[in-house]
C-alpha cells in the first residue's frame, strides 16, 4: 500500500522540479547596484524577489536557502495585505501548516498532520520568548501579547527542532519578530471591523533618543460567537512596552513587559468538554546581546477562571467538577526562564553554537493536586561545517532534564547541497520529545455521570456515579522521529521561486486520557503509533512591479494504530492560491 502511495507522489515531484526553462547551472542573478542617492528608489521598482534571511533554523541570521530546516517567512506586508485579524488565518497560507478553528476564539495550530483539539506540540516565540502556556503546552492564539502592526515578520519552521529549542519544538516553531523602535518611528493607528461583531484596533507610538529606543502599544479586539451572534466569543485589551539601549556597536540591552486581559474567551474546546474562560497574561522580559554572546531571561504569569461544559448531547449525563464539587476552576501559573547562548567561529567554514536553558514552572489550581512544580534544564550544541563551497553539514543535539521523566537526547543532522547559487537541496533527520504537562501529571477532577433507569418512583429514576479523573506520575515522553528532503530554486532572474519537500514522521507514546477501570480515569501513553507521509510543493512569482502571486499544495497520508482521542487526522489534500496587487 505504502509503495503504491510513493509511486504517485514521486512522479509528481519529478514533474514539478524537472524540465526547467533555464539551465540548472545558471549564474545567479545579482540585484542592480547603484549610488546611495537612488538606491531606495530602485529597491522599490526592481523586478526581483529577494531571498529572505532567517534566524529560526540555526539561532543566527542566514539566507533561507542555507537553513538546515524547512522554513517559510511571512512579512509585515503579507499580514497587512491579507486583511486577517488573527495569526492562525495568516498561517493557513503555508503548505503543511494545520489550522483548525473550534469557535470564534479557539484555534489549534500544528504542522504536517499532527493536529488535534487542544494541540500542544508547537513552539511559539515572540522575540525569542516562549508564549505557549506551560501548564498544558497550548497557545491562546487570539490572545497574543503583540498587536499586528508591531510584527516585522513571522518565521515558520516545520518539523522537529528540539535539538535547539527544547521540548515544545515537537511539530515545529512559529517565531514572531517585532519591529525595532526606529522601524516604527512616530505614531501608528489601525482599526478594522467586520461581520460577527468583529473589531480590531491598535495604537503604537515609537521613538528613539540617542542610544535609547522605546515602543509602546495598546490594542483592543473582539468578535461574537458563531452559535449566538448576540454573545461575545472573544474580547481582549492589551498593553506592551518595549525598550532597547545600544551599549556599543555590537551590544544591545533589551527590556520589555506587557499585559493582556481577555475577559471573554470561548474555549478551549476538547473532544467532550469545552470551557468558557476569562484570563490575564502578564510578562517581563530582559536580555543582552553582546557580540556572539546573548542572555535572555523572562517571567510570565497566567491567571485564569473557567467553567467547563460538556457536549450538548452529553450535558444531561456528564458533569465535570473539581474534587470539592465546584464547577468553576481557578488557575495561577508562573514561569521563570533563562537562556544563555554563545557562537564560536573556529575558522571561516566551521561554526559552533552552544548554550543552556533553565525553566521553573509553578501551578496553583483547584483542578490539580495541591501546588505543582516543574523544573527543566537543557544543554544544546550545534556544529555547522562547510565541507566544500557546495556542501554544508549541520549536526546538533540537546540534553534535557525534566522533573517528571528520565533525561532525553534530541539529535539532528542536516546536509545542504547548493547545485548553484540559485538552486539548493536539503536532507535532514531529527528526533524530538515532549514531556507530560503539569495538567497530565497533577490533574485532580471528578466526572459525574447520571444515567436514567427508566423506572418510576418509588424506584430510583437515575443512577449517579462519581469517577476521579487523575494525573499520572508514570508517563513517558511523547516521541517523534522525522526526516525530510527538500529543494528550493530561483528562476527568471529571481522573478520565480519553486519549492518542494517530501517528509516522513513516526509518532509514538502519545498521551491521552482514558478510563483505566470503572472507578478511575487517568492519563496514559498510547502503545500504538502513527506514520505520516507527505509532500509539499509551492511557487511564488513576481509578475510585474505591482502584481505578485503564490500557489502551493500539500498531501498527507496516515498509517496508524492509535486509538480514541490520540488518533491523528487531517485532510489528505490542501491547497492555497493568492494574488496581491500593490
Q: What is the pLDDT of residues 263-294, one digit of tens each?
A: 999 988 888 888 999 999 999 999 999 999 99
pTM for this entry: 0.88
Instruction: Report pLDDT for 375.
Output: 96
Q: What is the pLDDT of residues 170-215, one digit of tens each?
A: 999 999 999 999 999 999 999 999 988 999 999 999 999 999 999 9
Q: HEC profile for 356-413?
A: EEEEEEEEEECCECCEEEEEEEEEEEEEEEECCCCEEEEEEEEEEEECCEEEEEEEEE
Q: From the CB of residue 461, how many other CB atoms can be counted at a distance below 10 Å?
A: 12
CATH of domain 2-14+65-581: 2.40.170.20
25: Cβ–Cβ under 8 A, 6 or more apart, which residues? 419, 420
Mean pLDDT computed over every residue of the chain: 89
Spatial contact of 506 and 531, defined as CB atoms under 8 Å apart: yes
> What 3-state class would DSSP assign to 543?
coil
190: Cβ–Cβ under 8 A, 6 or more apart, which residues? 147, 148, 149, 200, 201, 202, 203
Q: What is the pLDDT of residues 7-63, one digit of tens each?
A: 444 444 434 434 443 333 333 334 444 445 445 544 544 566 788 889 998 888 888
Say if residue 167's pLDDT is above 50. Answer: yes
36-54 b/e with 16+ CB inside 10 Å = b?
Answer: eeeeeeeeeeeebbebbeb
Q: Locate the domains of the chain by residue range.
A: 2-14+65-581
Spatial contact of 54 and 40, defined as CB atoms under 8 Å apart: no
Say if residue 559's pLDDT is above 80. Answer: yes
Spatial contact of 378 and 357, defined as CB atoms under 8 Å apart: yes
Instruction: Report pLDDT for 59.
Output: 86
Among the listed residues 266, 171, 177, 271, the one whose alpha carbon sits nearest the alpha carbon of residue 228: 266
Maximum Cα–Cα distance for the chain, whole Å?
96
Instruction: Report pLDDT for 43.
Output: 53
Minimum mean pLDDT range among 273-282, 303-312, 415-424: 303-312
Output phi, psi for 197, to 5 deg: 65, 30
**Distance between CA atoms of 142 and 510, rounded to whole angstroms?**
26
How far is the first Cα of the chain from the last one, in angstroms, to the nearest whole number?
A: 47
Among the listed residues 565, 568, 553, 563, the one whose alpha carbon sits nearest the alpha carbon of residue 506: 568
Q: What percent of the chain has pLDDT over 70?
A: 92
Output phi, psi for 8, to 5 deg: -85, -45
Amino acid at each position: 500500500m505504502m509503495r503504491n502511495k510513493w509511486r504517485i507522489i514521486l512522479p509528481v515531484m519529478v514533474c514539478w522540479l524537472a524540465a526547467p526553462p533555464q539551465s540548472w547551472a545558471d549564474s545567479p542573478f545579482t540585484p542592480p547596484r547603484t549610488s546611495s542617492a537612488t538606491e531606495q528608489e530602485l529597491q522599490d521598482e526592481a523586478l526581483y524577489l529577494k531571498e529572505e534571511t532567517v534566524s529560526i533554523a540555526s539561532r543566527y541570521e542566514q539566507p533561507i536557502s542555507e537553513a538546515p530546516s524547512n522554513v517559510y517567512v511571512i512579512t509585515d506586508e503579507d499580514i497587512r495585505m491579507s486583511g486577517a485579524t488573527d495569526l492562525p488565518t495568516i498561517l493557513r497560507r503555508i503548505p503543511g501548516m494545520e489550522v483548525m478553528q473550534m469557535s470564534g476564539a479557539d484555534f489549534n495550530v500544528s504542522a504536517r498532520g499532527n493536529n488535534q483539539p487542544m494541540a500542544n506540540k508547537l513552539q511559539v516565540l515572540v522575540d525569542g520568548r516562549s508564549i505557549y502556556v506551560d501548564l498544558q503546552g497550548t497557545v491562546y492564539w487570539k490572545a497574543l501579547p503583540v498587536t499586528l502592526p508591531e510584527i516585522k515578520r513571522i518565521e515558520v519552521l516545520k518539523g522537529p527542532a528540539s535539538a535547539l529549542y527544547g521540548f515544545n519544538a515537537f511539530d515545529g516553531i512559529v517565531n514572531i519578530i517585532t519591529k525595532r523602535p526606529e522601524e516604527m518611528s512616530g505614531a501608528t493607528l489601525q482599526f478594522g471591523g467586520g461581520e460577527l461583531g468583529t473589531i480590531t484596533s491598535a495604537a503604537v507610538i515609537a521613538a528613539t533618543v540617542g542610544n535609547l529606543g522605546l515602543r509602546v502599544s495598546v490594542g483592543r479586539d473582539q468578535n461574537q460567537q458563531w452559535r449566538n451572534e448576540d454573545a461575545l466569543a472573544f474580547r481582549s485589551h492589551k498593553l506592551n512596552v518595549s525598550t532597547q539601549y545600544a551599549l556599543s556597536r555590537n551590544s544591545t540591552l533589551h527590556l520589555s513587559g506587557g499585559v493582556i486581559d481577555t475577559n471573554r474567551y470561548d474555549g478551549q474546546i476538547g473532544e467532550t468538554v469545552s470551557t468558557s474562560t476569562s484570563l490575564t497574561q502578564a510578562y517581563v522580559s530582559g536580555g543582552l546581546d553582546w557580540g556572539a554572546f546573548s542572555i535572555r531571561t523572562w517571567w510570565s504569569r497566567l491567571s485564569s477562571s473557567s467553567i467547563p461544559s460538556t457536549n450538548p448531547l452529553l450535558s444531561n449525563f456528564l458533569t465535570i467538577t473539581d474534587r470539592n464539587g465546584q464547577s468553576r476552576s481557578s488557575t495561577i501559573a508562573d514561569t521563570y526562564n533563562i537562556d544563555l547562548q554563545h557562537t564560536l567561529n573556529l575558522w571561516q567554514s566551521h561554526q559552533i553554537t552552544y548554550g543552556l536553558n533553565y525553566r521553573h514552572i509553578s501551578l496553583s489550581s483547584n483542578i490539580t493536586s495541591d501546588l505543582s512544580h516543574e523544573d527543566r534544564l537543557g544543554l544544546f550544541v550545534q556544529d555547522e561545517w562547510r565541507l566544500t563551497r557546495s556542501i554544508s553539514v549541520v549536526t546538533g543535539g540537546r540534553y534535557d532534564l525534566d522533573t517528571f521523566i528520565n533525561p532525553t537526547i534530541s539529535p539532528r543532522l542536516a546536509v545542504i547541497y547548493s547545485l548553484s547559487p540559485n538552486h539548493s537541496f536539503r536532507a535532514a533527520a531529527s528526533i524530538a520529545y515532549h514531556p507530560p504537562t503539569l495538567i497530565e501529571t497533577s490533574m485532580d477532577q471528578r466526572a459525574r455521570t447520571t444515567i436514567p433507569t427508566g423506572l418510576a418512583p418509588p424506584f430510583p429514576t437515575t443512577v449517579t456515579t462519581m469517577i476521579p479523573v487523575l494525573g499520572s506520575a508514570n508517563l513517558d515522553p511523547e516521541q517523534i522521529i522525522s526526516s525530510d528532503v527538500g529543494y528550493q530554486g530561483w528562476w527568471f532572474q529571481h522573478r520565480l521561486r519553486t519549492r518542494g519537500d517530501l517528509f516522513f514522521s513516526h509518532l509514538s507514546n502519545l498521551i491521552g486520557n482514558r478510563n483505566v477501570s470503572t472507578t478511575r480515569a487517568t492519563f496514559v501513553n498510547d502503545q500504538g503509533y502513527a506514520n505520516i507521509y507527505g509532500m509539499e510543493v509551492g511557487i511564488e512569482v513576481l509578475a510585474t512591479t505591482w502584481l505578485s502571486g503564490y500557489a502551493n499544495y500539500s498531501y498527507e497520508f496516515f498509517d496508524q494504530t492509535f486509538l480514541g482521542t490520540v488518533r491523528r487526522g487531517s485532510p489528505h489534500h490542501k491547497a492555497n492560491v493568492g494574488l496581491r496587487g500593490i
